[in-house]
Structures are given as structure tokens and as C-alpha cells.
């Protein structure tokens, strides 16, 4: 599913029949499998955004199977932005595609940045081993849509120290009653994590190792 020139383009089909553009790389014996969800489409977010690209490249270099995709209405993906509703089907389509790739015993992690992190929290697919969430606003959809909150599988939230939308103290308060959730502050960073992405690479390595 990969070639000598990098990730392979692929297409996902959502439960409501939309075609989404995606890229993935799946080595023969991956360490783990990771799906990455991008930030808010209405503010320029797509599968090439900074944190998504940083994690994607790092995980590929680390020998992981990785998939990134454009939500509906973004880039070459069909449909229109649906304010966090239809996007839940997009996440599920990506998880199903990665679950069908490689060894089923290999852990599957659902990751996301900002809007993508909140969308990841709406998915509690049985194939998942855990969630890695970067700067989740925890407000894109109603809290009852965060199915992962009560799920016993591990959730690591990498929260920028200076996040403009949901700093660590607020994130701790919001997740106080969640099951198996940990807050990991990212020192010196704001929501956009410019210059601080190396810390994310370290954190996701630690998370994958913990699984």
C-alpha cells in the first residue's frame, strides 16, 4: 500500500455514501496503526495542516501504519461541512479502513488536532486501542456526543500550556469525570503549536509504547 515515493492516495467511503480523499502508508509489520483527524475546515484545516503533517511524517518514519484524510467538503472530498455531525461518519470511515489494513492484533489509535480531536472523541469504535488528542476544544459538539469520555480505553490529551480555547486547567475540569483520561501539558505552546511539535512526537511515542 506504499511506494518508494511516500504515502499512497486512497479513497474512503462514508456511511452516507460520500467519497473522501485520504493518504496512507501501511508497512508490512507496523508497530501500530494511527488515524489522524485534521483541524476545523472553516478555518483552513485540512490533512496537510501543521500538527497532522508532523505526526504523520513522524509516525511513518517510526514504522507505523498511518492514515490521514480530508473531512467532507475539504479538498477533493465530496459533500459539505456539516458542523460536526456528518463528520462523525467521516471519522468512522477512516477507522474502518485502517482496521481492515494490516494485522488486527496491531493497536489502532485515533488521533486528532483541535476540531479533529473533538471529532475523534465522538468515535468509540470497538477496533480502537485508545485516543491521542491534541488541543481539543471540547466544545465542537455537545458533550453527550463524546462517546470516548466514558470509555475505559486510554485517552491522552496533549493540551498547550497557553491554549486560547481550552488551557490545561479547563481541560482538567472538563475531563475530571472521564474514564482513563490523562492531561499532558505542552509547555510554551499555544493552540497552534508552532515550534512545539517535537513534544507531540515524544508524547505520541510514549502513548503508543504504553499500549
Whether residue 2 is contained in a domain is answered as no
- The two beta strands, 33-37 and 19-25, are unpaired
Give CA–CA dist 156/208, Å, rounded: 11
Whether residue 3 is contained in a domain is answered as no
Whether residue 1 is contained in a domain is answered as no
Whether residue 25 is contained in a domain is answered as yes
* For residues 181-209, average pLDDT: 97
pLDDT category of residue 4 using cuts at 50, 70 and 90: very low
CATH number for position 137: 3.40.50.1820
Q: What residues make up the domain containing 125? A: 8-210
Whether residue 108 is contained in a domain is answered as yes
Give CA–CA dist 6/208, Å, rounded: 22
Residue-wise pLDDT tens digits, 14-34: 999 999 999 999 998 999 999
Residue-wise pLDDT tens digits, 131-190: 999 999 999 999 899 999 999 999 999 999 999 999 999 999 999 999 999 999 999 999
Whether residue 38 is contained in a domain is answered as yes
Domain count, the chain: 1
Give CA–CA dist 41/51, Å, rounded: 14
Residue-wise pLDDT tens digits, 50-84: 999 999 999 999 999 999 999 999 999 999 999 99
Residue-wise pLDDT tens digits, 87-103: 999 999 999 999 998 77
Residue-wise pLDDT tens digits, 36-59: 999 999 999 999 999 999 999 999
Residue-wise pLDDT tens digits, 122-146: 999 999 999 999 999 999 999 899 9
Whether residue 161 is contained in a domain is answered as yes
pLDDT category of residue 5 using cuts at 50, 70 and 90: very low
Give CA–CA dist 36/145, Å, rounded: 19
Whether residue 114 is contained in a domain is answered as yes
Which pLDDT value is given to residue 13? Answer: 98
Amino acid at each position: 500500500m506504499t511506494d518508494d515515493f511516500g504515502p499512497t492516495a486512497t479513497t474512503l467511503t462514508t456511511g452516507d455514501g460520500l467519497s473522501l480523499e485520504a493518504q496512507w502508508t501501511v508497512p508490512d509489520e507496523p508497530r501500530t496503526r494511527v488515524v489522524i483527524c485534521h483541524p476545523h475546515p472553516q478555518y483552513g484545516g485540512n490533512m496537510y495542516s501543521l500538527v497532522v503533517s508532523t505526526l504523520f511524517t513522524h509516525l511513518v518514519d517510526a514504522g507505523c501504519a498511518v492514515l490521514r484524510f480530508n473531512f467532507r467538503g475539504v479538498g477533493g472530498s465530496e459533500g459539505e461541512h456539516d458542523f460536526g455531525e456528518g463528520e462523525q461518519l467521516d471519522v468512522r470511515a477512516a477507522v474502518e479502513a485502517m482496521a481492515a489494513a494490516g494485522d488486527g492484533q496491531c493497536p489502532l489509535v485515533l488521533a486528532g488536532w483541535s476540531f479533529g480531536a473533538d471529532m475523534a472523541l465522538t468515535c468509540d469504535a470497538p477496533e480502537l486501542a485508545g485516543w491521542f488528542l491534541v488541543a481539543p476544544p471540547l466544545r465542537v459538539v455537545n458533550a453527550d456526543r463524546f462517546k470516548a469520555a466514558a470509555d475505559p480505553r486510554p485517552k491522552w490529551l496533549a493540551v498547550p500550556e497557553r491554549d486560547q480555547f481550552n488551557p490545561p486547567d479547563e481541560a482538567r475540569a472538563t475531563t475530571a469525570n472521564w474514564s482513563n483520561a490523562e492531561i499532558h501539558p505542552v509547555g510554551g505552546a499555544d493552540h497552534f503549536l508552532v515550534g512545539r511539535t517535537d513534544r507531540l512526537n515524544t508524547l505520541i511515542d510514549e502513548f503508543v509504547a504504553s499500549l
